[in-house]
Chains A and B, each alone.
With several copies, the nearest count.
Chain A
Amino acid sequence: MKILYFAKLRQHLGKSSDSIKISDGKKISDVINELKNKNGNYRRAFDQVKNLQYALNCEYVDIEQTVRDRDELAIFPPVTGG
């Protein structure tokens, strides 16, 4: 699955995307736990950046949303444009 990071989260992670293999039916919260178990850098980034929001294929979704391997998941802090 393609995972995109934006803004403060992207900066803390030091990267703007990941490509990881996911078994269909997992929740976004599971995916994040997997990422956090990768290493301390991921753990710190996800712990430090508050109020994260999630978009699946460009639609806002809840952290409990299930995902498929072909989805595009985006994780980011609340938007601040305009």
Chain B
Amino acid sequence: MKIYFQKESFLVQENFEKFSKVNKASGSIISFVGKVRPITNNKEVIDIEIEIYKKMAIIQMKKIISMLMKKYKILDYLIIHRFGKVKPQENILLVIVASQHRKEGFRFIEDLVDWLKIKITFWKKENYLNDYEWVEQKITDRKIFLTKN
């Protein structure tokens, strides 16, 4: 049950291995990795900068997780979200969840990522060769917010 908001890059394999060892007895392990896409809006992304309001991000994350833990039977989770400069093809986000049964794991991880994208205080700026753009929240993500709120 760990949450890391960190500047440093991370390897999925290492974290997955450690997590699996601790959760040997669980029937299902599901993971989600969000990465920087090399091309967006037909422009080549040089890198992205992720800004964080850390104090609020931690508080909101804990609230969301405690709400989801009441909803779904989960044995363990690990969340890593990077901030600062991140290059294309690098990982931004890792969520791993262990559960006895797959359905609750799937619901937990999908809900968590949905909430993360509309509640947790990170912001992305994409840097291109000659300009940049602050990423806008997707309407599809906002819709999830409205139906879930």
Instruction: Mark A residues whose CB is within 8 Å of B.
Output: 4, 6-8, 10-11, 55, 58-60, 74, 76-82
B93 touches A77 (CB 8 A): no
- Residues of B with C-beta under 8 A to A6: 51, 53, 121, 123
CA A8 to CA B52, docked complex, whole Å: 12
User: Would you mind naming 24 contact pairs between A and B with Cβ atoms under 8 Å apart?
Assistant: A4-B53, A6-B53, A6-B123, A7-B51, A7-B123, A55-B53, A55-B121, A58-B55, A58-B59, A77-B134, A77-B136, A78-B136, A79-B120, A79-B121, A79-B122, A80-B117, A80-B123, A80-B124, A81-B50, A81-B81, A81-B93, A82-B92, A82-B113, A82-B122
A23 CB → nearest B CB, Å: 25
CA A4 to CA B52, docked complex, whole Å: 12
CA A3 to CA B149, docked complex, whole Å: 26
A81 touches B122 (CB 8 A): yes
The 4 closest A-B pairs by CB, nearest first: A81-B122, A7-B123, A78-B137, A58-B56
- Residues of A with C-beta under 8 A to B136: 77-78, 80
- Beyond the given pairs A11-B134, A77-B123, 13 more chain A to chain B contacts, judged by CB atoms under 8 angstroms and listed by A's residue number, are A55-B53, A55-B56, A76-B53, A77-B136, A77-B137, A78-B118, A79-B117, A79-B122, A80-B123, A80-B137, A81-B121, A81-B122, A82-B92
A76 CB → nearest B CB, Å: 7
- Residues of A with C-beta under 8 A to B87: none
B138 CB → nearest A CB, Å: 8
Q: Is the interface of B mostly helix, strand, loop or mixed?
A: mixed
B60 touches A80 (CB 8 A): no
Return the chain B residue nearest A10 by Cβ: B51
- Residues of B with C-beta under 8 A to A11: 134
- Residues of B with C-beta under 8 A to A82: 34, 81, 92-93, 113, 116-117, 120, 122
A79 touches B123 (CB 8 A): yes
